[in-house]
Amino acid sequence: MLRLVHFASTAWFVLSAACIFILALRQAGFRWWTIFSLSGYSALIVFLLVSLYLFAIFKGVSRSQQIKEEHPLTNSVYYSFFYNISPFLGTLAGVFGAIGVKKITHFLLVSISGTLWATFLVWIIVDPAAGVIEMLLPSSRRHRRARLAEAKAGYEKAQAEKRQLLADLEITEKLEQERREEILRPIAEQLAALLAGGENIEQQEAKMVDIGIKAWQMGGLNCMRQLHSMTMEICAQRYGNKNIVDYIPIWWDSIGSWRVASLSEK
């Protein structure tokens, strides 16, 4: 209900501002076709600004219980109702203030000016001032300190749980690597022998591709990386003096998610 009232009051405020704009242009001697030309461009800008403003207001209508405890006045139903009908109250005050004015344009100008002044006074001055005063109240300050302390404790707890989860994952990954190392050791030795062996390059490629497919099926990309790393260590230990070309990254390209760049991304 408050959202509907606020939408109506905002629409009334915009309409009042447009009326004052038109009356001011008419009093300045502008013709109607000029006024319509100017108002056409202005209407789009006003619509965008009002849409953004309404979005912000709608987001702030439903506040949590914590905020209500810190702002008991501005979150009360009575204050919200007063805040939302302030443009209409300003119009009513302007009408009473324009009693006795005979010229219709002056009567409209005075009446609508009450809308602008009341809206500006309540929405721009009174409401922020009331919010600041509420924040300075002892009860609000105590509740805010408690809320911030609770939020900080929750954040620190979440960070601790995240660190523990990462530590558990690292331990699990390390254990998995150790378990795979026993299985991959003979395969790595076979790969190292293929790289250093005397078979022709076509036979080497076919056998290495088969081994890469099996490694992918065993443990995915991490298993393939570990197998490649173990293979190169064995080559360095056993065939250090031999000029060995590492064809594995190229021949394994497109096996599973292995790409030539997979080694540099490790």
Secondary structure in 3-state letters for the chain: CHHHHHHHHHHHHHHHHHHHHHHHHHHCCCCHHHHHHHHHHHHHHHHHHHHHHHHHHHHHHCCCHHHHHHCCCCCCHHHHHHHHHHHHHHHHHHHHHCCCCCCHHHHHHHHHHHHHHHHHHHHHHHHHHHHHHHHHCHHHHHHHHHHHHHHHHHHHHHHHHHHHHHHHHHHHHHHHHHHHHHHHHHHHHHHHHHHHCCCCHHHHHHHHHHHHHHHHHHHHHHHHHHHHHHHHHHHHHHCCCCCCCCCHHHHCCCCCCCCHHHCCCC
Q: What is the mean pLDDT of the chain?
A: 77
Q: Nearest Cα to 10, choosing from 45, 43, 53? A: 53
160 in a structural domain? no
Q: Are residues 111 and 40 both part of a single domain?
A: yes
Q: Which candidate, 240, 229, 237, 220, places its Cα nearest to that of 263?
A: 229
Q: Could you tell me the residue range of the domain that residue 52 belongs to?
A: 2-136
> Where is pLDDT greater, at 5 or 26?
5
User: How confident is the model over 217-230, as a mean pLDDT?
Assistant: 88
In a domain, 157, yes or no: no
Residues 7 and 100 in one domain: yes
Asked whether residue 16 falls in the same domain as residue 124, the answer is yes
Residue 184: inside a domain? yes
- How many structural domains does the chain have? 2
Domain endpoint, select from 107, 136, 165: 136
Same domain, 75 and 193: no
Residue 252 belongs to a domain: yes
**Same-domain check for residues 27 and 117:** yes
pTM, entire model: 0.43
Question: How sure is the predictor about 63, in pLDDT bands with cuts at 50, 70 and 90?
Answer: very low
Query: Residues 97, 12: one domain?
Result: yes
Q: What integer pLDDT is reported at residue 148 of this predicted model? A: 87
Residue 208 lies in a domain: yes
Is pLDDT above 50 for 62? no
Q: Is the pLDDT of residue 32 over 60?
A: no
Same domain, 188 and 92: no
- What pLDDT sits at residue 60? 46
What pLDDT does residue 243 have?
Answer: 75
Residue 58 has pLDDT above 60, yes or no: no
Residues 129 and 197 in one domain: no
Q: pLDDT tens digits, residue range 114-172? A: 787 888 888 788 888 888 888 888 888 888 888 889 989 999 999 999 999 999 998 98
In this predicted structure, the answer to whether residue 262 has a pLDDT above a threshold of 70 is no
- Which range is most confident: 41-55, 119-133, 159-173, 249-263? 159-173
Residue 34 scores a pLDDT above 60: no
Residue 42 lies in a domain: yes
Same domain, residue pair 248 and 188: yes
Please indicate, yes or no, whether residues 31 and 127 belong to a single structural domain of this protein.
Answer: yes
**30 and 110 share a domain?**
yes
Within-domain flag for 122: yes
Cα distance between residue 234 and residue 190, in whole Å: 10
